[in-house]
Structure 1
């Protein structure tokens, strides 16, 4: 770099001597000086990076020599010299919460009022260095796949600094917080434990000389014993110094975190800027706000996205947001009670914005109730089952939806800005938790937008309460009395999100000396759960505030790229929903494609790639010469795979498994006979993929009635994937596959077992694809997407999208039986349509080259027997 600077200065001097025009010479001189200054800046940053890494190495070496991590053992009263000097104390979760409640009472709920403070304890804890290094960012779907990739890197000669990013739920080592299990609850509890003592963090002092308002620095005391700054710094040093051991993987991070008593989540964030290889799940990389929250900068870095065949569908799924009737009801209840309690203490500006939020939430609720009732009425009048008809949903463009809400005075953009600045969602969450935990009397009336204040309620209503909204009937007195009687019963069930109490009114919790358990004694001897368990239930009531905010953020998207769908009550869902649908997910890929140094999309079966090519060329505006495609063959040879498409079953019936023929009993019998005759000649495990759970259930019921199921079970035991995706089926199937007889697994394309699980070796010696898994064209989401691409690309684009989604699902399912160079398997496609060139061309090249089209069953049987005879 020094030589480059000298070369630039020498060239500049020579040009200045030869220049007759001093103006041009001076301009060139300025350009050269800027270039030299840029090189000097890079040099200085590189020097600081090396110094930071050297400091991390020295810190780790010193700690290994002195075995300093022993001072971090949880529960040890002697927490080491460093802790003694700082006079830090670690409170248990129950004790910390009890002390915070006492402090809050003294502060008279000041902490619950919205403010404009932007400095929080978490932000101070996560203060990021400006130092950066060039990164390779590798994204995949699951943490398991990221761990596997890290292990493969360790087999090479490269030793980059590796870090795996993950959620609090994945990285938290506080067992009491992990016990909450739900991601939203874990985040809320973590934020609560990170918050400083209210008596110091929320007070403002005035400087004597200038009279300026000053916010004191956050207190270092925290309710989580793993959130100590020095311990987190030590763990970050371990990550940055790891060149032989993969300390940046999730498993190793949690292990070392326990050793050092340090939080892996915050340590990863602290060390992220200086790591060279960053492993991330999809939702962190592909969601802009999540990426920004992690300070994950993609500019001038290399981005690799694995399993990219479903990239656009994944983007659409990540940005989809849903709110339901119950969620909106709870939000309105919380906002009503908050205003009712703090109306006289709220500044005019704060009260205005909170009322606007309440108006917006009530408008959403009323709209959803009205629209869903109308859709349900139309469905009932049609006399058609909701299971057979999926086009009863109402679809709105964003402008049309906003106009129907009838709240034109609410500026969603400004309201979101206010929510971010004031931290109102967290304030409302604290308000909900505090007063639900205290069991202050609940108010069942005037929940929504009451014109006058009521003084009878200071607590959030139960989520099961019937709201009083203009235009809807309120609960009758007799109903309320019945609820009261049930609440007094010792066998009464507690409503979700509410504390247990015999009546719900006036019960005061008693604390044990440890402060960790609340106990409310009644004549029936009824006992409450622990504080942590109660806290989890209450947080379920407050978490919807964040979900509403996410829905509001979605409404600020480009109007032409999105739709709002009203999903009425159905047999599958017991409450109506509003769903935000992103029609053009490629637009969310534009920022990544344009900012990164290089974007690499990889996958075992990327074909067909028409959608992705259109996304890059039309939406991301990338010229064709910047897009490179590379496809290679498989590691196996021709003797390790046989691929057959079968046009007729043993009874010579044509296998055309379109939607209308799936109810044909003769067709189902033909499929079962095909299974029986071919399974006899296949060793170990076999998998059969069906297009949908409905078709699979119909097939199983039919062959159970006809007796063909017992015939199949005489050949191989049958395991059937359930809709809820239980792990027992997969575990039992794996055990049964190890013997020669093997097992037969019936699964569904797009289900848990069709993606992410490898059927290697004995687990998958043969795979059947039953029919073509076309999506339901009556689906409102698919209809809107097809209509959108028809408008943007041209006639026929919708049908191409329809075909692409089908073949991507086929390729993912059948490609999981060959997983390494010594594996072997058979692929059998049960449908006459696979012989059509427009279908078979979408199969992966390594399958196309080995595919044989069998018009008659004996031809396929002979090929299959020959293949496995040669392998025996």
Structure 2
């Protein structure tokens, strides 16, 4: 049912995890494992897999918060023991008085805090029960349309000795920083290179879902039960104190700033409004006038377990910025929820005031953590953006050139040289044969003398001067942007440039820069920075936290997390767990289809060399025809890539020489057919529209249990985060293995990096090749496992899984499937489609 490597939980006594329901055995095992890891601490790491539908998030919450409350009680007892030691040799009555006073002080603080939070919770509930509209504070925008002679606001004003910007730190005035200290935001500053890093697609939804789970259980107080009893009180419940952190883009309530849209523009405008010389201060910034509201924001959020939308609403009600005010709640919070980018960047954590030392880091849905690290540090820039940036610089210099003095004039000129050099290199590369490759970072800045420029100084200037925001704002203000030949970007070009230059200056053995020519009417090419390994970027988390838990529905195969996130971790500090599913065995059917006919005749092998075989593709279509004749409701078929899905469908749509209906038409007669398309495709349909039409076809009363077929792609838009529960997916068909293209520059670089790292550790050539091959195979199997996980979503759900490719019979590939899938595999020999239909038909008949 589960494999547990490393230390078993030390606490074998029965622990009440305060789960709101009666937990299944796999949930109990999961919670005991988490509790044991946190209890041991000392840099322990857990990599835990619990299938979707097993209540993984709720189990994480219950085990972690049970440990935390128990840990707090133990720490209180330790404090009393220290008092006893300090008063050793004193009369017993003096020791008891000192202990009593300490208990009373703690009880008083705890009671006052809980009573204050209880009042706020009551107010929130009463407001909800009355159903009244929340009072919204409307702030009239004071920024009227400026006259031409007021364009001075767009002029840069830092450095060069021309401006008195001394005493400002991170874009905030001394006055503002002093105020932040007073309201509990001491030590905050915007670090060089800090990005708010908004959430990736769907992360806000995941955080909201996690918060809804966090509200379910109830936990006893963090005070020892005997202390409450001595005070004459019955043990009560203590609400979890949680704060949700997010970006300015999600939390800004200043309409004049929020409407700017892009994260970088919002960041710059926000920090600009805090500067001492700013004509217009932000009315929502925590200050002496709204100190009461700031503290009320802190207490209300700690009282109510808010999600991002709640934070925004509370800030609007109280007329105080949720982005800044949320930080006042960090010291009192037991749980801090935040999106990947804010956790993974050390400077972002420091800017928020988040300390990992002694604390626990839990990453839910951690199956894509390595990709998330790479995405946080990724950067790219296109030739069209550089051309547009050069034109905008020209527009800006034409207007303000005579007013730019000292360092400002020098720096703006240097930015122009860097932009020109990158533009020259990309334009030259357009003339070179080949669509993609690795770029030598030293060659990118050889033109125009740009290689003599100090990039660190230049980037710092762009950040502190808010030049990107000023240029974009000025061009929009004068409406000259309509004369530019390139389309307007949602992100200021200079912000894109800074992100790319940051990657360029941070180049190490872990990163590479690639170029790629893009299809389209006009010649286009881009430069991209790729982080080849997350090891160094993740090390600050792994080395600082008391414990790290990586949990997901499909974490298999585990090897990559160990090798690339925790390469130096001693075995005794690592615990892995693969839980079984909560569904009964009869609710799952797993079969490998390795050939069309019995005995291995007409094999299925969708390798890159063989997958275009028309006979094999035709046999695949005929196999699906058989499958659709017995499978009820929804069938989801995953292919290795969008290009291959297009190729297969084109062959299926070809009319038979004998004038028989095409395979596509015959499939359509069995079930309505739907297909996903790449988001970059000109004919792309939105995910919502595809799912809506597919769902309607399945639920249509006109054709009960006829269902529908949805063709999708492994790693595509519908392979992760989509809930195909119940009738939406009674069968998952996986066609082939989505091995990445080893001939692409990115994968060549990855494989070389892994081999080089192994060799540097003293590994042999064979070991290095083996590690690279393992990483390559694991990347494919993680994507397969995510697609498989779309089917069974809760205890009462049931589904079949068919893996179409002979390679799934190999133990090396099969061993990388999740344990609950391996357990469900039927070993029936190579009986072809006939054997599949016998087992599949029996499975569906058994389900009624």
TM-score (norm 1): 0.71
Note if 1:866 corresponds to 2:842. yes
| Higher mean displacement: 57-66 or 602-611 | 57-66
Note if 1:324 corresponds to 2:382. yes
Relative to structure 1, is the Cα distance of residues 232 and 816 closer, same or farther in structure 2, using a 3 angstrom cutoff?
farther
Note if 1:773 corresponds to 2:744. no
Which residue number in structure 1 is paired with residue 550 of structure 2? 601
SS at 1:796's partner residue?
helix
Q: Give the gaps of 5 or more residues in structure 2.
A: 1-77, 91-101, 188-198, 220-238, 656-661, 680-684, 759-767
How big is each residue's C-alpha offset from its partner over 1:28-52, in whole Å with a ceiling of 9 and x where there is no partner? xxxxxxxxxxxxx9x9999999988
Which residue number in structure 1 is paired with residue 469 of structure 2? 429
Which residue number in structure 1 is paired with residue 62 of structure 2? none
| Higher mean displacement: 340-349 or 317-326 | 340-349
Which residue number in structure 1 is paired with residue 570 of structure 2? 623
Bigger relative contact order (CA 8 A; separation at least 6): 2
2:594 pairs with 614, 638, 647, which one? Answer: 647
Which residue number in structure 1 is paired with residue 664 of structure 2? 709
Note if 1:819 corresponds to 2:784. no
Q: In structure 1, how many angstroms separate the alpha carbons of the residues matched to 2:558 and 2:646?
A: 32
Q: Offset at 1:123?
A: 6.0
Relative to structure 1, is the Cα distance of residues 346 and 325 closer, same or farther in structure 2, using a 3 angstrom cutoff?
same
Q: Offset at 1:72?
A: 9.3
Q: Offset at 1:674?
A: 0.8
Note if 1:730 corresponds to 2:730. no
1:161 pairs with 241, 252, 268, which one? Answer: 241
Q: Offset at 1:416?
A: 2.8
SS at 1:303's partner residue?
strand
Which residue number in structure 2 is paired with residue 850 of structure 1? 824
1:495-574 map, 5 Å: 496-497=487-488, 540=489, 543-571=492-520, 574=523
Q: In structure 1, how many angstroms separate the alpha carbons of the residues matched to 2:693 and 2:587?
A: 27
Q: In structure 2, how many angstroms separate the alpha carbons of the residues matched to 1:172 and 1:428?
A: 20
Which residue number in structure 1 is paired with residue 675 of structure 2? 720
Note if 1:415 corresponds to 2:458. yes
Q: Offset at 1:729?
A: 0.6
Q: In structure 1, how many angstroms separate the alpha carbons of the residues matched to 2:525 and 2:579?
A: 48
Are 1:91 and 1:225, in contact at CA under 8 Å, matched by a contact in 2?
no
Which residue number in structure 2 is paired with residue 120 of structure 1? 172
1:253-652 map, 5 Å: 253-339=311-397, 341-374=399-432, 378-379=433-434, 392-396=435-439, 398=441, 407-420=450-463, 423-424=464-465, 426-434=466-474, 436-439=476-479, 462-464=483-485, 496-497=487-488, 540=489, 543-571=492-520, 574-618=523-567, 621-649=568-596, 652=601
SS at 2:630's partner residue?
coil
Are 2:592 and 2:804, in contact at CA under 8 Å, matched by a contact in 1?
yes
Note if 1:145 corresponds to 2:206. yes
Relative to structure 1, is the Cα distance of residues 657 and 241 closer, same or farther in structure 2, using a 3 angstrom cutoff?
same
| Higher mean displacement: 167-176 or 796-805 | 167-176
Q: In structure 1, how many angstroms separate the alpha carbons of the residues matched to 2:442 and 2:603?
A: 50
Q: Give the gaps of 5 or more residues in structure 1.
A: 14-40, 77-89, 133-138, 203-217, 380-391, 443-459, 465-494, 498-539
Relative to structure 1, is the Cα distance of residues 556 and 46 closer, same or farther in structure 2, using a 3 angstrom cutoff?
farther
Are 2:374 and 2:530, in contact at CA under 8 Å, matched by a contact in 1?
yes
Relative to structure 1, is the Cα distance of residues 346 and 822 closer, same or farther in structure 2, using a 3 angstrom cutoff?
same
Which residue number in structure 2 is paired with residue 674 of structure 1? 623
Are 1:53 and 1:240, in contact at CA under 8 Å, matched by a contact in 2?
no
| Higher mean displacement: 257-266 or 56-65 | 56-65
Note if 1:751 corresponds to 2:716. yes
Are 2:118 and 2:303, in contact at CA under 8 Å, matched by a contact in 1?
no
Relative to structure 1, is the Cα distance of residues 244 and 731 closer, same or farther in structure 2, using a 3 angstrom cutoff?
farther
Aligned CA-pair RMSD: 4.0
Are 1:236 and 1:268, in contact at CA under 8 Å, matched by a contact in 2?
no
Are 2:120 and 2:300, in contact at CA under 8 Å, matched by a contact in 1?
no
Which residue number in structure 1 is paired with residue 73 of structure 2? none
How big is each residue's C-alpha offset from its partner over 1:140-184, in whole Å with a ceiling of 9 and x where there is no partner? 961222222211222211331122222333334567766665545
Are 1:74 and 1:225, in contact at CA under 8 Å, matched by a contact in 2?
no
Relative to structure 1, is the Cα distance of residues 124 and 710 closer, same or farther in structure 2, using a 3 angstrom cutoff?
farther
Which residue number in structure 1 is paired with residue 96 of structure 2? none
Q: In structure 1, how many angstroms separate the alpha carbons of the residues matched to 2:752 and 2:345?
A: 25
SS at 2:450's partner residue?
coil
How big is each residue's C-alpha offset from its partner over 1:669-703, in whole Å with a ceiling of 9 and x where there is no partner? 11111111111211111100000001111111211
| Higher mean displacement: 831-840 or 542-551 | 542-551
Q: Offset at 1:660?
A: 2.7
Q: In structure 2, how many angstroms separate the alpha carbons of the residues matched to 1:161 and 1:606?
A: 29
